[in-house]
Amino acid sequence: QLVMKGRDDLRFLARRLATLFPSLLSEENMRKGKIRFASSSKHRCVSSMEAFQDGLHQHWSHQDSPPVYRHEVDDELMRFFDRCHGFVEGVENNRTALIEVEKFKHGEEMEALRRRTAEKLGLHFHRLTPDLVEAAFFLCTYELSIKSLHSPWCFLFDESDAKVLEYKSDLKNFWKRSYGHVINSLSSCPLFHHIFRTLDKAGRPR
């Protein structure tokens, strides 16, 4: 689900881009079908695309009439990695692909964090798993970033604790979505090729 703050961010982004590139993101180009909106089938992605179109609608001063959303769902392009055999078998379904994440998850830093958190909660150390500690941290960060609330969960963590948990999250993204495995970057090539081909075609004289 896309929260309201996320929708607002997308609307503001659309208005800024339309201001910076008026000849590209123009109402005329929209009417003539020269602007294409593509999204994956993920609910948050479709909502993001609709919020972006809301922003364009507002920029063009059509506050009174609701926008007509124009988009196509193209998972083959936007989520090519889901169909990439090398990624699915080599990373997604490979138990050893995230071995470094598992090592850190049960390593010295996380174990010390678990003990500190368990003491604050008055729980036995073994009842508080690394996943539960991370879930509490996510509750803290989500409420802070989305609602600007200092959640009670935040009192469990100090700055050094946050660095440990953020590093663990970064480590997972590194190995699952970033430079940890070569196939991660290769699986994004079809989308980049499509973008550059489209830009190249648009820039040619007619």
Q: What pLDDT score does 31 carry?
A: 87
Which candidate, 133, 140, 138, places its Cα nearest to that of 117?
133
Helices (H), 3-158: 4-20, 27-31, 43-59, 75-78, 85-87, 99-105, 108-121, 130-147
Tens of pLDDT along 138-163? 999 999 888 888 899 999 999 999 99
The model's confidence at residue 34, banded by pLDDT at 50, 70 and 90, is confident
User: What's the rounded mean pLDDT across residues 113-138?
Assistant: 95
CA distance 164 to 113: 8
Contact 15, 55 (CB under 8 A): yes
Question: Residue-wise over 149-158: b if at least 16 C-beta within 10 A, else e?
Answer: eeeebbebbe
The chain-wide mean pLDDT, for the chain, equals: 92
Question: How far from the centroid of its chain's Cα atoms is residue 181's Cα?
Answer: 19
Domain ranges of the chain: 4-75, 98-180
Instruction: Give 57-96 as a DSSP string.
Output: HHHTT--SS------EE-HHHHTGGGG-HHHIIIIIT-TT
**Residue 12: other Cβ atoms inside 10 A:** 14
